[in-house]
Structure 1
């Protein structure tokens, strides 16, 4: 949700692809000042809206809540990927404001962490939730993965991505897994998959014959979870299990183009894992092959 709120602010069309390209004579300090003000205003408004809409009861004493056992941990992977994408989008904004790739990566890592932390703190004061150490670890891991790659390699070689397909399980508990198609992609964890998309050509070096745009992706998903807890799903007659995937993917930002609008489209598309032939392994059915999986 935060990514969607900030995309219009963070994605100037002229710099939508990861690069250090600069305009002719822009006022970078003007851009940076406006960017920081815009971030503060939009985020403060979003946080205020969340505090009113998400928390039904008044906030009380701060407390912790251990939810690491819930949803077979896929929600934690989701936190990591979301925090990573916030950092990725933020870095583009900082490049647009004139910062180098290295500085942009450092600032973006901090931004990704700062954007997520207040929400976890609000959870800590909420009677319904509580501060989750697991969520916070995931929120740190996402920006760290982004910043760490630029500090180590000067580029992104491993990219977390997201995919989703609708499942019949949402009909079992629509109040939990989503009543409408527009919210099931967010609530139905059974249809979600999270991926680490790796670019072999970047690791192989300049002499590699591997296509620069082609990635290999390892993914994780769950199935038959109709409650947050494993045992409660079993009580409802389901047998939850984990799913592991191996597939092909595309790094759109490595497709060369001079079209600025197309660069923006490629940057946005790189959030998603493309449908592709996929090998799945799970504890119930063993190995399975999908001619096309998303």
Structure 2
């Protein structure tokens, strides 16, 4: 499960890295590299310490164990891991190129870091009585990092970007302690309202408007409890998957000389904006004029 503080760390990490511009020199800028390594290490260490204090301190400890949660939440939580690992890989590679590390090396190190920084979360989970380490989470983390590295090797740039969107549902009030009590908590905890997307830069493959992408998405609904049998035992209908295809706006088409504006664009572009979308599920096919 993606913890609130780790997701916030990812966003703040990207907020800083998005201002980085690739250096012009042919030599590694050791001052920049040292600044990046020290800054990111300190920031990440503080994040892990805070996570341990706020999330795990009172959860109780156990001998390290794995817990199979692959059939929980229709795997929507796993796509959250995928997205986080992708952007950590992408952001780290960008920062290393800002230090003028060669792109191939930056991409490889970025992917290793994107996966590696997620591993301690599973270690914490493994020693916590409330959770247990998840092999499925680790696979999703590795897949997100590999998805970035594969594109970098194939096209020398990412052309397909994971994105996130959220809408409030009627399920959170049924179990507020688990699904969130109020908007901030629901964004992170209510998987019914989360949708994860892959946004394709169509203009990189054919004549297409630079600002318009094709997007496919995955979500699920009806998940009051994590597992299908738990929903049925509690008297709720079986949860069901949702698949989407539609249009997406690529905010990177907006060009600016302002580092602040470019940073906001970079972060905002991780969000799938409302646009015409088709939904496919066991409930049938629906068209949404503006789906978020």
Q: Which residue of 2 aligns with 1:226?
A: 224
TM-score (norm 1): 0.89
Query: Given the superposition, is the C-alpha separation of residues 249 and 236 from structure 1 closer, same or farther in structure 2, using an over 3 Å criterion?
Result: same
Count of residues paired in the alignment: 286
Q: Where in structure 2 are the equivalents of 1:151-166 lying within 5 Å?
A: 151-166=153-168
Query: Given the superposition, is the C-alpha separation of residues 10 and 25 from structure 1 closer, same or farther in structure 2, using an over 3 Å criterion?
Result: farther
Distance in 1 between residues matched to 2:32 and 2:242, nearest whole Å: 44
Q: Which residue of 2 aligns with 1:136?
A: 138
Deviation at 1:92, TM superposition (A): 2.6
Which ranges of structure 1 fall in alignment gaps of 5 or more residues? none
Deviation at 1:144, TM superposition (A): 0.9
Indicate conservation of the 8 Å contact 1:10/1:92, yes or no.
no
Give the SS at the match of 1:166. Answer: coil
Query: Given the superposition, is the C-alpha separation of residues 123 and 3 from structure 1 closer, same or farther in structure 2, using an over 3 Å criterion?
Result: closer
1:227-252 Cα offsets, whole Å, 9 max, x none, are: 11112122333321111101111222
Q: Which residue of 1 aligns with 2:285?
A: 287
Query: Given the superposition, is the C-alpha separation of residues 181 and 250 from structure 1 closer, same or farther in structure 2, using an over 3 Å criterion?
Result: same
Q: Of 88, 100, 104, which aligns to 1:98?
A: 100
Deviation at 1:27, TM superposition (A): 8.5
TM-score (norm 2): 0.90
Q: Of 196, 210, 213, which aligns to 1:212?
A: 210
Instruction: Give the superposed CA RMSD.
Output: 2.3
Distance in 1 between residues matched to 2:141 and 2:43, nearest whole Å: 20
Q: After the TM superposition, which of the residue ranges 58-67 and 241-250 deviates more from structure 2? A: 58-67
Q: Which residue of 2 aligns with 1:241?
A: 240
Query: Given the superposition, is the C-alpha separation of residues 14 and 53 from structure 1 closer, same or farther in structure 2, using an over 3 Å criterion?
Result: closer
Query: Given the superposition, is the C-alpha separation of residues 242 and 122 from structure 1 closer, same or farther in structure 2, using an over 3 Å criterion?
Result: same
